[in-house]
Structure 1
Amino acid sequence: MDCLFCKIIEGSIPSKKVFENDRVLAFHDIQPAAPVHILIIPKKHIPTMNDVTEEDDALMAEIFSVARHIAKEQGIDESGYRLVNNCNAEGGQVVYHLHLHLLGGHQMKSLAG
C-alpha cells in the first residue's frame, strides 16, 4: 500500500507523535495551518469518511475522545479549537486515509454565512 499515513503508522516515515494507542495515532502536521495543528488518524486504513461503516462506530468515537484529550493537553480546550475532516477531492482531501485536523491556538474565522 502506498499510503503516506500507513507508512507513518508503521514507522517508516517519522512523525512528531502526541498520542498513540493500538487503534489511534496523533501527530503534528508538517505544514501547520494554525499554532496547534495535529492530525488524528485511525490505524485502520479507511480511505475517506464515506468508507466508514457501522463496525467503525466505536473507532470514530475514540478518535473524537482522543481529540478532546489532546485539545486539553495542548491548552486549547477552553479557548477553543476546530476539528476538520476533508472528504474527497472537492472537500479538500489530499491524503486518502481518514484523518481529523485538530486546529487551535488562535482566533478562527467563522464558517457561518
Structure 2
Amino acid sequence: MVASEGCLFCEIVKGERPAHVVLDVPDAMAFLDTRPLFKGHTLLVPRTHYETLGDLPPEFLGEFFGHARRLAGAMESVLDAAGSFVAMNNRISQSVPHLHVHVVPRNKKDGLRGFFWPRQKYDSDAEAADYAARLAASL
C-alpha cells in the first residue's frame, strides 16, 4: 500500500484513525461515512492512495467496481433498501482527495431528490454534436 501523508482515508486504511469498517480486502476498504445521507452510507476506497478515477490503474477498475457492486447489493439484502445510489466525485466536491465511491441505501420517497445543481441546455443540436464529437475523439 502506498499512502499519502496527511490523507484522512490513508490513515483509516493504515488503522491510525478509527472507522466502522464494512469491507476489508487486500486491495480496498469500505467504511461508514461519518456524515451519512442515510444510515448505511458507505465509502469504498482503494488501499493505495489515488486521488481520482483517472489515477486508478486500468487493471484494477473491474475488481474495484466489483466491490462497489457487492456493497450496492448489500444495501438491498442487508438493509432492506429498495435500491442504492452509487457515485463519486473527481476533484470538484471531493472532500477528501483520495478516490472514494459513495454507496448509499435508497428507498422511494426517502427525501433525496436527484442532483442539486442547475441544469443547462445546449444552444443548438450542432453544439451538442460538437461536444459529443470532441469527447468521443478523446476516448
Identify whether the pair has TM-score above 0.5, normalized to the shorter chain. yes
Does 2:85 align with 1:96? no
Does 2:7 align with 1:3? yes
- Residues 34 and 106 in structure 1, CA contact (< 8 A), matched pair in contact too: no
Residue 104 of structure 2 aligns to a residue whose secondary structure is strand
1:83 aligns to what? 86
How many pairs are equivalent?
Answer: 107
Structure 1 CA distance for aligned equivalents of residues 61 and 28 of structure 2: 10
State which drifts further: 41-50 or 23-32: 41-50
1:33 aligns to what? 37
- Residues 36 and 105 in structure 1, CA contact (< 8 A), matched pair in contact too: no
2:107 aligns to what? 106
Note the C-alpha offset of 1:106.
2.7
Structure 1 CA distance for aligned equivalents of residues 16 and 29 of structure 2: 14
User: Structure 2, unaligned stretches of length 5 or more?
Assistant: 120-139
Note the C-alpha offset of 1:63.
1.9
User: Over the residues paired in the alignment, what is the CA RMSD in angstroms?
Assistant: 2.0
TM-score (norm 1): 0.82
CA deviations on 1:87-113 (whole Å, 9 max, x unpaired) are 11xx311100000000123334235x6
Q: Which one has more relative contact order, counting CA pairs under 8 Å at least 6 apart?
A: 1
Structure 1 CA distance for aligned equivalents of residues 47 and 24 of structure 2: 9
CA 1:92–1:48 in structure 2 vs 1: closer, same or farther (change >3 Å)? Answer: same
Note the C-alpha offset of 1:78.
7.5
TM-score (norm 2): 0.68
Larger radius of gyration: 2
Structure 2 CA distance for aligned equivalents of residues 17 and 36 of structure 1: 11
CA deviations on 1:13-58 (whole Å, 9 max, x unpaired) are 0110111111010010011012331000000110122323xxx123
